[in-house]
Amino acid sequence: MNRRQFLRNTTTAAAGFWIAGRQTGFGQEKSPNAKLNVGHIGVAGMRGADHLGAMAGQNIVALCDIDDKNLAQGAVKHAAASKYSDFREMLEKEKTLDCVVVSTPDHIHAAAGVMAMKLGRHLYSEKPLARTVYEVRVMTETARERKLQTQMGTQIHAGDNYRRVVELVQAGAIGPVKEAHVWLGGTQWTASGLPRESGPVPEGLHWDLWLGPSEERPYSTRYHPAKWRCYWNFGGGHLADMGCHYIDLVFWSLKLQHCRTAEAEGPEVDPHGAPPWLTAKWTFPSRGELPPCSLTWYHGEKQPPQIAEGKLGDWKGPGVLFVGEKGMIVANYGAHKLLPEADYKEFKRPEPSIAKSVGHHQEWIDAIRGGKPALCNFDYAGPLAETVLLGNVAYRVGKKLDWDAASLKAKGCPEADPFLKRDYRKGWTL
């Protein structure tokens, strides 16, 4: 509905409009303990199934999936829910929805999420919020303008370990931090050229809906159900997949927002597929009394120099490293250490100051019911997701980006524009 239509409709049927709005919106008209009416877009796979389970205590009103088999699987425990293949139809028809959970491939997040928010639905969206920086910004601004409660799917943010690390960094345990590193092995989200595997579209798979606003491609088993992350048309490789989870700890601890510069290096850029390794670096301005800092990401076989120098001791596997003037902290999802360990034998940790989470999904549910915003609301998660995606943009352009966050432009680098904002297929809008 555009502004003119809205004004015309409210003039001719104002009373009916506002009564209907009060009946279907979640607000003071409902008890604070009332169940939410929830619609799920994407109901299978690890995340889709997890979200259905996490929201099972609410009213699951509608389910949508482009694969009939997935839809049937998701409906096993929610037989009363209405079922759809096209999220647009679901959002238009289901007038009683309070909120929507989006668990689709990245290229659908923004199209589904923005439509839901424009219809007044609170939104939970999987990371990295969207496929492009522009889409992330639209999602962030739409949520803010419409005063909706949001949450991005960085589930580990609710864990106790992250909270203890944030407290240590912000209490000055290692002194001012000007440098942070995040590293992650893994090369599964990589591809060279377009997929060779093809074949007929499986029965019950609505391929055109799966493509959504992205460039048209023939069906391939490499795309659906699991390998779409390997291809720029639908995802952003390893960085877009895991960056928000691990870089989240740095953003939270150092109170980061938009970066100032972004650069990256990796193998020769493939126009279709994501790289097997990548090193990306961002710089950030000062934040109040906090000094300017840099953040570097590594995946594949790349790692920060402190590992080769033996400064992390027996630390194994992925990690997040904060380098302060007095020491270092290394962490992962479930553990952390102050380094050098000998220097911190007598160290007294600060008393916990960040309350235990009620649960990642429950934070969002409570926010919708009138509580404080969820910790990974889009005002926080938007700049995080934009930063992650800018690493891929810098890699594909092959230049260091001087980033103007306010105008959403890489200064003096027009060749970055097609990677910041994509054209949608005919019939699809944001």
For the chain, 430 residues long, the average pLDDT of each consecutive 10-residue run is: 39 31 45 88 89 96 97 95 98 98 98 98 98 98 98 97 98 98 91 90 97 96 92 97 97 98 98 97 98 98 96 95 98 98 95 97 97 97 98 98 98 98 94
The pair of three-digit structure tokens given for residue 125, joined into one six-digit string: 């969206």
pLDDT of 20: 31
pLDDT of 162: 98
Same domain as 85, residue 9: yes
pLDDT of 198: 83
**First-to-last CA distance in the chain?**
13
Same domain as 288, residue 152: no
CA 384 to chain centre: 8
DSSP string, 178-233: EEEEEEE----S---SS-----PPPTTB-HHHHHTTSPP----TTTTTTTGGGBTT
Same domain as 49, residue 127: yes
pLDDT of 17: 27
Same domain as 111, residue 260: no
Same domain as 12, residue 130: yes
pLDDT of 26: 55
pLDDT of 197: 83
CATH of the domain at 187: 3.30.360.10
pLDDT of 15: 29
Same domain as 245, residue 142: no
Same domain as 39, residue 180: no
pLDDT of 29: 54
Asked if residue 212 belongs to a domain, the reply is no
* Angle, vertex CA 137, rays to CA 135 and CA 140, nearest 5: 110
405 burial (CB, 10 Å; 0-12 / 13-18 / 19+) is middle
pLDDT of 30: 66
CA within 13 Å, CB half, 413:
23
Same domain as 127, residue 9: yes
Domain of residue 77 covers 3-156
Asked if residue 255 belongs to a domain, the reply is yes
What global pTM score does this model have? 0.92
Q: How far apart are CA 262 and CA 280, in angstroms?
A: 7
DSSP string, 162-190: HHHHHHHHHTTTT--EEEEEEEE----S-
pLDDT of 28: 43
Q: Is 14 helix (H, G, I), strand (E, B) or coil?
A: helix
Same domain as 243, residue 304: yes
As for how many domains the chain has, the answer is 2
CATH of the domain at 54: 3.40.50.720
